[in-house]
Amino acid sequence: MTTELILLLAIYLLLIVGVFFGELGPIETFHRSAPRLGAQIERDISIGHEFQSPRANKGVRWVE
């Protein structure tokens, strides 16, 4: 019984570690997608995409 429990826990641990540290884990996914997300946010801020004045539905005037 103890041997089966240890084997099941080892398999469970390997699966969990594989999920978090593997190629498709959240850490690796963040490292691959963060530059693209940052570029999109920077582009949206620079062109004022979807930034509107609440009163007149006009774009926000950017002061540089």
- Going residue by residue through the chain, which has 64 residues, state the pLDDT in tens, using 9 for 90 and above: 889 999 999 999 988 887 777 777 777 778 888 888 888 888 777 776 666 555 655 655 666 5
- pLDDT given for residue 51 in this prediction: 60
Cα 45–Cα 28–Cα 20 angle in degrees, nearest 5: 130
- Alpha carbons 47 and 54: distance in angstroms, whole number: 18
Q: Cα 41 to chain center, whole Å?
A: 13
Entry pTM: 0.40
Distances (CA, A) of 52 to 27, 40, 47, 62: 34, 18, 12, 11
Could you tell me the end-to-end alpha-carbon distance of the chain, in angstroms, rounded to an integer? 71
